[in-house]
Amino acid sequence: MILFDFEHESPSSTEAAVARLNEVGEEARFLAGGTDMIPNMRIGIVKPECLISLTSIPYAPPALDAKGWLEIDALTRLSEIEHSKLVGDAAPMLAASAHSVAGNQIRQVATLGGNLCQETRCLYLNQKHDFQFVEPCFKRGGDCCYPFPKNKKNVCWSVYMSDIAPVLVALNAEVSVLGAGGEVRLPIAALFTGDGLRPHTLNPGELIRRIHIPPAPSHFGWGYHKSTVRGGLEFATALMAVALEVRANGLVCSDARIAIGAVNEGPVRLDKTEASMKGLELNPANLRMLADQASQEVNPLPHHGFSKPYLRDNIRVHLKRTLALAVERAGTRMKEDRS
Amino acid sequence: MSKLKYVGQSLKRKDGPDKVSGRAVYTQDVRLPGTLIGRVLRSPHPHARILKIDPSKALALPGVKGVITAKDTIGVKHGFVETPRYPADQDVLAIDKVTHVGEEIAAVAAIDDITAQRALELIEVEYEILPGVFDAETAMQPGAPEIRPTHPKVKEDLVNIAGKTETEWGDVEKGFAEADYIREDRFENQLRTHGYLEPQVTLAHWEGDKLNVWTSSMGTFIKRAKLSRTLGLPYSQVRIHKTYVGGTFGGKIDLYSHEYCAARLSMLTGRPVRITANREEIFSAYRHSQTLTIEIKTGVRKDGTILAQRFRIINNAGAHRGSGVVVIFLAWGFIMGPYRIPNLKYEGYAVYTNHTTRAPQRGHGAPKVRFAVESHLDMIAEHLGIDPITIRLKNARGPWEQLPNNDNTHEAGLIDCIKMVSQKSAFLDKWRQARPPADSKSPLRRGIGIGVTSYMSGTLIYPNGSGVVVKLNDDGSLIVLTGALDVGQGAETVLCQIVAEELAVGMDDIKLITADTDTTPQDIGAWISGMTYVTGNATRQAATHAREKILKVASEEMGVPEEDLGIEDKSVFNLHDPQQRMSYAQVFSASVAKHRGDTIIGEGFWRTMRDEPTHPSLATTKGRWTENYAFSAQVAEVEVDIETGEARLIKAYTVHDCGFPVNPGLIKGQVDGQVSMALGQAFMEEVMTKNGYTLNPNWLDYRMPLIHNMAGSEDFEVITEQYRVGQPYRTKEVGEGLVSGVLAGIANAIYDATGVRLTSAPFTPEKILAGLRKLEREKARELA
Ligand SMILES: Cc1cc2nc3c(=O)[nH]c(=O)nc-3n(C[C@@H](O)[C@@H](O)[C@H](O)COP(=O)(O)OP(=O)(O)OC[C@H]3O[C@@H](n4cnc5c(N)ncnc54)[C@H](O)[C@@H]3O)c2cc1C
Ligand code: SF4
């Protein structure tokens, strides 16, 4: 139960929504599927006086633009992304990540935009504070951090747990943001600050309009893995998304992007490992070497009871397997291209 | 023996249609006009003195109708155990100090939730913070912060001892001296919660001279007793109504503060008051299950025969005695049941800490005890070069064994259970075969393991007995009055089957009125694993009583001796001339007309161990525990990924001696439910705490298994008893004891698959990986 009063409005266009939010100001928030917002209001970590609902706004189904980029409206429900034939063909990794979010009931209402804009998570944060952890932590505007009491003032190591954001990062996606001054198009990575206190770069009143995913090159392979304890209805222990290209002549890597999720304040790219991959033959021994390197390159925050060394172990093994899958897919695709 | 028509059949649940159609009324569904919302103010500190409570600002808030603190109580304490040795130690509202996070300090009743919330924020409490202690072994040591005084009968130099169970027989030292091999191990387990989906909720309505209460519980009579006493009302002024219950698993037995608060606030305001706990409250302030640290030392002969065992068990009881002094007693029982232990020394300590108070949870310690004992036994067997089945058969108790406390194993089926589960699972073919061939690249390893358990089927505890009334209606249908509460386990269905069998009446012709403290007879409640046995026999007796009356009247009317009469289909017939018959409706009329208005009411009552004066001593274990031991042997097959450490249960086999299965379908439901609980305990569930605060008070971060985590589960019954119409029968426990063998089996199976011996649950990837690394290092050292 939400224990405070608030207003609720449902404008019928994104422009109207942005205009309304700018009018009402600081105390207003967008509400999409509400699967992140409502629980956060219930536990009192956000207390908007007015919710501008986006649910009455019509949105277009996923489509390819003139250049062959896949365009998805930010209001698209995750279940629609998961089941869309077009998304499955053009960006199967995105479909896989949408499928891995929460459970079916949530995916029926949760939106893509809301998924990207979800709050960071921390065991101390994601609960009511009626009698536990009553003193507000840095993230709640207070003066302490419960799990990391030695942290400097205003350093918050909550983790960003979107299943989809790392995939979009690995796919080099772009995002259109609608603000009072109109629409701008940015690389997806520009959405994230890497700061647990304020994980998103969006200003209040800025709205994610849509996501753009470039067409996959011909020798492309992908791999996605979400580590969990029980395999569903659960945020990730660690999450990895791999997109790679191989040269036409074999399994030598020509380009790669690896994004890790759920273990830092935002999605993280593994620049060094990606650099070592380029020009390397992606055989099992090299994949093992790359995964070892990656597990050293990531700097996971201990979260939700998982220790840093365990998270490294988890990423090392699962990334090796995820890379292998991506290589296999690239190989299959190459064969398909040739035939 | 006549063929049974109802008993022994998997008949559909009596409560099924109500539940699937949404007609079932749960406490939250009971609506009364003018109901106020109650909320409880809880301690933000694990240990603190209360210097001052000032509710005046809250009382002044418009919309607030009542605020209570300890001052509004009569100061009567309550507890899970209330005996001369272990008097109640829990206040309904904290008086001068709080001893755990979330302890109840005050409560408000207001016109709506938001007002109630504001009122809570306006209550001013001044605390003096005291040092807290959370680890039981630290809390025992002299110098630790004192939460409550050590029990006066415990003379050791220890603090915070809520109670101790101590017992021994034989000569343990001599047993160890004669042993060929002695081994010592230590086991630990995590804090788990019950995971009932229906939250704790109570609606109370004081009508001037009568308190009506609806509350989610496991038995209404114990609630009435404790509520009446803490309120200072005669039992006759308190009525607990029956509502459907959405899960309990041990978590809703004795009194909870919110029940008292709803009642007291209703008495003060004259309006109905409802308190519904939210999930965070349930996770961080209510009672979870018991944790045990178990140290075992065992001496065996070369052939695996157990000669002596020594146990030291430490229970982290939390802030109050709760069921801590029961679990350290029961742990002894779960040790003594399955295997012969000629010499035993047992010590169990329940220790106060600044954690929330604890309650029983399905199995009440048995899963922890059996995980320890069965793992330890496998380690011994391996050292001796004996397989797990042989060592168990060597020590398993057989039928008619007299136990050291004068209990008797009666028709124990344990040996058959072990043999059958071994055969059904092809145990010895799979055991140690799990390792894949050397050229396999697969990181997956399969393993198999076994666990054995015995469990009590009812014991002597409040209120010790059950009464049942069976009334004949004038159309020949029946009304059954019983205090038994169906908490999902199927009590209503099973009792109905018994009445149907005894009186030859269809299930749909029987209406049950249950668990209403004003209108139904007293009952033990659904929480000591004895309902089918105790309430069932009372029901059988009541039905028999009614049948005797029916036959007497019919015999007079038909001019046929009673022994020549049979019953079927709501009528009595002449066995020699089946055409000659009388319907129950006709019998009813005749009885009323010719027996001075006798409307044919059957009465029955039952109590386990009827001639025992009282329950066994929790402190010394003296006295009989149960007359009905259930036995089981279970096998688990697991798959472990040795690169990631991730493990899962593939299949569970359960073979159990349940006496006689009154409803095999319901038993299967119990088995499957317990397999799922065991795998949750093995792999995923843990209430994480830090300094008494709960870190994961929600369903996302406390991971219960999901439907796709369920493992295959096969179960087989070893039937050792019979049901005969009109005769007392024995059924054995099936609802609690079957978590244990699966949990123990999983631990042993992980060892079989990987060589990693885990001595603390849950069996996380992190622990399995650490174990594998240790093995690698040891191997490297051997090679070097
Ligand atoms: C039980 C449960 C399990 C979950 N499991 C997962 C999981 O496994 N993986 C995962 O990734 N997530 C999970 N989630 C989080 C889930 O809430 C998001 O995945 C979901 O996609 C959020 O979308 P929404 O439309 O409901 O967002 P909302 O709750 O409506 O909004 C979330 C935030 O985004 C803002 N917002 C919404 N739309 C826009 C927009 N277009 N532009 C700018 N800001 C916007 C809102 O103002 C709000 O701050 C889970 C949630 C629950 C309750
Ligand atoms: S990590 Fe962040 S959210 Fe968690 S307690 Fe610290 S400041 Fe608060």
- Structural domain boundaries in chain B: 16-23+461-607, 32-130+196-248+252-284, 291-459+615-778
Q: Give the pLDDT confidence of A274-283 residue by residue, as tens digits.
A: 999 999 999 9
Q: Give the pLDDT confidence of B161-206 residue by residue, as tens digits.
A: 999 999 999 999 999 999 999 999 999 999 999 999 999 999 999 9
Nearest to A3 among B114, B696, B705 (CB): B114
Q: Does domain B32-130+196-248+252-284 have CATH number 3.90.1170.50?
A: yes
Per-residue pLDDT, B43: 98
pTM: 0.97
**Closest ligand 1 atom, CA of A35?**
26
CA distance B705 to chain A (A): 7
Q: Give the pLDDT confidence of B397-451 residue by residue, as tens digits.
A: 999 999 999 999 999 999 999 999 999 999 999 999 876 766 678 999 999 999 9
Handedness of CA B705, B706, B707, B711 (dihedral sign): negative
Q: Looking at B30-39, B285-294, B578-587, B605-614, which range is the least confident one?
A: B605-614
- CATH for A1-56, among 3.30.2450.30, 3.30.420.40, 3.30.43.10, 3.30.360.10? 3.30.43.10
Closest by CA position to B471, among listed B425, B420, B511? B511
Per-residue pLDDT band for B614 (boundaries 50, 70, 90) equals confident
Mean pLDDT of A241-255: 90
Closest by CA position to B89, among listed B182, B152, B178? B152
Domains A1-56 and A220-338 share a fold: no
Q: Which two tokens stand for residue A291?
A: 């995964």
Q: How far is CA B212 from CA B215, B270, B517, in A?
A: 10, 12, 10
Say how many residues make up chain A.
339
Q: Give the pLDDT confidence of B548-580 residue by residue, as tens digits.
A: 999 999 999 999 999 999 999 999 999 999 999
CB contact B199 to A (< 8 Å): no
Q: Looking at B92-106, B456-470, B749-763, which range is the least confident one?
A: B456-470
- CATH for A220-338, among 3.30.390.50, 3.10.129.10, 3.30.428.10, 3.50.50.60? 3.30.390.50
For tokens 């593994």, what's the residue?
A: A270
Say how many residues make up chain B.
784
Q: Give the pLDDT confidence of A12-36 residue by residue, as tens digits.
A: 999 999 999 999 998 999 999 999 9
Q: Amino acid letter at B167? A: T
| CB spacing of A318 vs B644 below 8 angstroms | yes
Mean pLDDT of B351-379: 98
| Architecture in CATH of B16-23+461-607 | 2-Layer Sandwich (3.30)
Per-residue pLDDT, A339: 60
Q: Give the pLDDT confidence of A136-150 residue by residue, as tens digits.
A: 999 999 999 999 999
Q: Give the pLDDT confidence of A298-311 residue by residue, as tens digits.
A: 999 999 999 999 99
Q: Give the pLDDT confidence of B721-770 residue by residue, as tens digits.
A: 999 999 999 999 999 999 999 999 999 999 999 999 999 999 999 999 99
- Structural domain boundaries in chain A: 1-56, 220-338
Q: How far is CA B441 from CA A119, B444, B548, B587, in A?
A: 41, 9, 72, 77
CB contact B63 to A (< 8 Å): no
| Architecture in CATH of B291-459+615-778 | 2-Layer Sandwich (3.30)
Nearest to B42 among A1, A43, A131 (CB): A131
Predicted confidence (pLDDT) at residue A120 exceeds the cutoff of 70: yes
Contact between B293 and B314 (Cβ < 8 Å): yes
Q: Find the A68 Cα to ligand 1 centroid distance in Å.
A: 28
Q: Give the pLDDT confidence of B483-526 residue by residue, as tens digits.
A: 999 999 999 999 999 999 999 999 999 999 999 999 999 998 88
The verdict on the CB of residue A166 being under 6 Å from ligand 1 is no
Domains B16-23+461-607 and B32-130+196-248+252-284 share a fold: no
Contact between A267 and A165 (Cβ < 8 Å): yes
Q: Which residues contact B586 (CB under 8 A, 6 or more apart)?
A: B557
Instruction: Name which residue sits closest to atom 15 of ligand 1, judged by CA.
Output: A36
Per-residue pLDDT band for B684 (boundaries 50, 70, 90) equals very high
Per-residue pLDDT, A338: 64
Instruction: Name which residue sits closest to atom 31 of ligand 1, judged by CA.
Output: A114
Whose atoms come closest to the Cα of A135: which ligand? Answer: 2
Q: Give the pLDDT confidence of B250-275 residue by residue, as tens digits.
A: 999 999 999 999 999 999 999 999 99
The verdict on the CB of residue A266 being under 6 Å from ligand 1 is no
Predicted confidence (pLDDT) at residue B1 exceeds the cutoff of 60: no
Nearest to B44 among A134, A230, A310 (CB): A134
Q: How far is CA A326 from CA A312, A322, A333, A336, B725, in A?
A: 20, 6, 10, 15, 68
